[in-house]
Structure 1
Amino acid sequence: MTSEFVLEAINREFPEAVISSSEPYGFLTVEVKKEELKKVIHHLKESSLNFMFLTDICGIHYPDHKEKELGVIYHLHNLQENFRIRIKSFFPKDNAEVDSITDLYSGANWMERETYDFYGITFKGHPDLRVILNMEELGYHPLLKEYALEDGTRTDKDDSMFGR
């Protein structure tokens, strides 16, 4: 199995779904339209491509890119061929919602809850989408890059010692 073969199979089945593709460090990475995301993942699992193992789901936040501010990244693995693929999808923060894949991979349940908890991305159709790691009364999503990393009023610290 090669990256070219997998990418060609995706493009053949979903000609309008792929936005871009690359192969950093030999790891096929495909950006897919949000509307086509679940269909593409379903095809990768159920077809002869046989991506049966969901390694990870995570979120990402690029606050300077308003049309692609938030994203979801899926890592899938074909264990028989030892081939991995990364599927990405990006969207604006005010439309942070994608389809749940818990019906495809049962392990997605916890990963989607974690992504919701830390980034505020909603997974439509998730059976129990609620806070899993943070306190319910926290009131914000801590991995969004919109909060100061440190208290700017501190006077007991000399930032010049840390190259800032």
Structure 2
Amino acid sequence: MTNEFVLEAITREFPDSVISSSEPYGMLTIEVKKEDIKKIIHYLKDSTLEINFLTDICGIHYPETPAKELGVIYHLHNMMTNFRLRLKVFMTREDIEVDSLTDLYSGANWMERETYDFYGIKFRGHPDLRVILNMEDLGYHPMLKEYRLEDGTRTDKDDSMFGR
């Protein structure tokens, strides 16, 4: 199975869903429309492509790109042919919700909870979407690039020792 073959199969089944594709480091990476991600992954799992293992779900935040500020990245794997695929969906800050994959992959449960916990991305249809690693009363999502990396009020740190 090749990147070209899988990309052609996806674009044939979902001609209006594929936004862009690339092959960084040889891995097929496809950006698709957010509303079609579950249908595409369901197709990949149940078709002859047999991409049947969900390796990872993670979030990403690009604050300098308001139209694609938040995203969810899915890594999928065909264990028989060792074919790997990356799917990406992006959304605005006002509409941070995407369909849950827990009914397709039981392992998606904790991955989606972690993504919600760190990025605030909601997964529609998730059976128990709540924080998993942070404290429940934290009040923010720590992986969003909205906070300073360092505390500007610290007086115990001499920046000249760090080359600044």
Q: TM-score range by the shorter chain?
A: over 0.9
- The answer for the alignment partner of 1:76 in structure 2 is 76
Task: Give the residue type in structure 2 aligned to 1:137.
Answer: D
The alpha-carbon deviation at position 4 of structure 1 amounts to 0.1
Counterpart check, 1:162 vs 2:162: yes
- SS, match of residue 94 in structure 2: helix
Residue 23 of structure 1 pairs with residue 23 of structure 2: yes
Unaligned segments of structure 1, at least 5 residues: none
Deviations 1:94-134 (A, max 9, x none): 11000001000000000000000000000000000011111
Q: Deviations over 1:42-65 (max 9, x none)?
A: 111110110110000000000110
Moved more, 90-99 or 149-158: 149-158
1:66 maps to which residue? 66
**How many Å apart are 1:158 and its aligned residue?**
2.4
Distance in 2 separating the partners of 1:109 and 1:19: 27
Tell me by how many angstroms 1:85 deviates. 0.1
1:24-82 alpha-carbon deviations (Å, 9 max, x no partner): 11100000010111111111111011011000000000011001000000000000010
> Residue in 2 aligned with 1:43?
43
2:113 pairs with 1:113: yes
Q: Which runs of 4+ in 1 moved over 2 A?
A: 158-164
Shift of 1:150: 1.2
Aligned Cα root-mean-square deviation (Å): 0.8
Code of the residue aligned with 1:101 in structure 2: it is L
* Helix, strand or coil at the partner of 1:161: helix
Alpha-carbon spacing, 1:163–1:49, altered in 2? closer, same or farther (3 Å)? farther
Q: Please give the TM-score of this superposition, normalised by the length of structure 1.
A: 0.97
Counterpart position of 1:132: 132
**How many pairs does the alignment contain?**
164
Cα deviation for residue 157 of structure 1 reads 1.7
SS of the aligned residue for 1:144 comes to coil
1: CA distance, partners of 2:20 / 2:160: 41
Shift of 1:159: 2.3
Indicate the SS of the match to 1:138.
coil
> What is the alpha-carbon distance in structure 1 between the residues aligned to residue 163 and residue 34 of structure 2?
40
DSSP 3-state at the match of 1:73: strand
Q: Which amino acid aligns with 1:79?
A: M
2-structure distance, mates of 1:162, 1:47: 54
Which amino acid in structure 1 is aligned with residue 89 of structure 2? Answer: S
User: 3-state DSSP class of the match of 2:123?
Assistant: strand
Alignment match, 1:10: 10
Q: 2:76 matched to 1:91?
A: no
